[in-house]
């Protein structure tokens, strides 16, 4: 199986080209065709010599993702279901904001973190995505925009799709270097956010990278007992391990961190939890922002969306305690909006189809 050329950083591409006897300047030409002109075939690289085109064609591919389903919401949100070369499927979402177009990418096939409220964890992780498969999600969305002919481009990225990004750390970092490269897509580091459920050791590593990519932490509960009930990862990295990692990140980068908090009716949405969260963050509130997330109910999950009054009380309690916060604007509520929902539905449909076929044979 050929490797996705989108998985190479500019430096890696340059090294590969030199190792194969081609001139160094060819790397810039190829990179330009990939990310500025955005060709879909190596043969379209008009000023690249034929010998290099043949080499690229022999070793790499420009297409490891095939569009299976595209759901479009009335608010402009588009959810893509892509099939990978091994038959697995992943989700990618395009969202429209007043500040630009943001894409939410997936980093793993399935997820092992096991958050009890999340559709992504219905099917456990089967493998990591390569950096090329993650980059290609951005390219697929950008190609879709190019075909619309409106001169629109992806301006923001959130790494918040299926999977835990820090559980696929090396591929994540190569992905970030590719999309941030000024010679290519040039998506600003401050326009990119990586979300983690709290793999503490990798938070130290991420702080040491020296990049300006934003970090979001899925905290979802202000104490260990409650967090362990809804997030299995808290048993491995409880708040006693997680908060020092956050402190290190803040001290090292001096960059604001976003705390994601999904509101589950009568579970973690009481004023008491809001007070506990304010206490947890009080010594770092100058570099903290809490993103309150209304829950998208998932079939066979025992949770409901918090009442509007509970959401408002939670929000106001944090604000009164000096913790900056907001309630996330919802996108795609008329399609399979929750992360992992479309994928799990499609897999169940495919299982049912195969079962019926077996019964009829």
Binding site for [4Fe-4S] cluster, residues? 111, 115, 118
Of 293, 79, 103, the closest CA to residue 191 belongs to 103
Please report the DSSP string for 202-235 in residue order.
HHHHHHHT----EEEEE---SSHHHHHHHBTHHH
Nearest alpha carbon to residue 9 among 104, 97, 135: 135
Residues 52/317, Cβ–Cβ less than 8 Å: no
- From the candidates 133, 136, 273, 339, which is the catalytic residue? 339
User: Parallel, antiparallel, or unpaired for β 89-97 and 78-84?
Assistant: antiparallel
Please indicate whether residue 325 is annotated as part of the active site: no
Q: What is the DSSP string of 67-126?
A: EEEEEE-TTS-EEEEEEETTS-EEEEEEEEETTEEEEE---EES-SS-BTT-GGGGS---
Point out the annotated binding site: 111, 115, 118, 163-164, 195, 218-220, 296
With the C-alpha atoms ordered 164, 169, 173, 174, is the resulting torsion angle positive or negative? negative
Binding-site positions for S-adenosyl-L-methionine read: 163-164, 195, 218-220, 296
The answer to whether 259 and 217 have CB atoms below 8 angstroms apart is yes
The yes-or-no answer on residue 91 being catalytic is yes
Of these residues, 22, 91, 133, 260, which one is catalytic?
91
Task: Just list the catalytic residues.
Answer: 91, 339
């Amino acid at each position: 199986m050929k490797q996705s050329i989108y998985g190479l950083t500019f430096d890696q591409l340059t090294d590969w080209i030199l190792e194969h006897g081609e001139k160094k300047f060819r790397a810039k030409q190829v990179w330009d065709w990939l990310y500025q002109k955005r060709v879909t075939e190596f043969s379209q690289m008009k000023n690249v010599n034929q010998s290099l085109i043949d080499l690229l064609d022999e070793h790499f591919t420009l297409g490891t993702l095939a569009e299976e389903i595209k759901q479009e919401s009335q608010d402009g949100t588009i959810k893509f279901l892509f099939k990978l070369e091994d038959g697995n499927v992943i989700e990618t979402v395009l969202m429209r904001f007043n500040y630009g177009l943001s894409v939410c990418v997936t980093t793993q096939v399935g997820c092992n973190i096991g958050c009890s409220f999340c559709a992504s964890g219905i099917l456990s992780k089967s493998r990591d995505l390569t950096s090329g498969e993650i980059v290609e999600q951005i390219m697929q969305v950008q190609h879709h925009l190019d075909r619309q002919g409106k001169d629109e481009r992806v301006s923001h990225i959130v790494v918040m799709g299926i999977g835990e990004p820090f559980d696929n750390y090396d591929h994540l970092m190569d992905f970030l270097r590719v999309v941030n490269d000024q010679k290519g897509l040039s998506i600003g580091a401050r326009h990119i956010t990586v979300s983690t459920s709290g793999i503490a050791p990798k938070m130290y590593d991420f702080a040491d990278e020296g990049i300006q990519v934003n970090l979001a932490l899925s905290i979802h509960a202000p104490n260990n007992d409650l967090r362990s009930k809804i997030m299995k990862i808290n048993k491995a990295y409880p708040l006693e391990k997680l908060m020092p990692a956050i402190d290190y990140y803040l001290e090292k980068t001096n960059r604001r961190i976003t705390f994601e908090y999904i509101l589950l009716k009568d579970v973690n949405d009481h004023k008491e939890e809001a007070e506990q969260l304010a206490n947890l963050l009080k010594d770092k509130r100058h570099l903290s922002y809490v993103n309150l997330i209304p829950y998208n109910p998932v079939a066979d999950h025992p949770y409901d969306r918090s009442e509007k009054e509970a959401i408002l009380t939670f929000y106001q309690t944090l604000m009164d305690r000096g913790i900056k916060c907001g309630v996330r604007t919802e996108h795609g509520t008329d399609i399979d909006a929750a992360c992992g929902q479309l994928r799990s539905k499609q897999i169940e449909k495919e299982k049912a189809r195969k079962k019926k076929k077996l019964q009829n044979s």
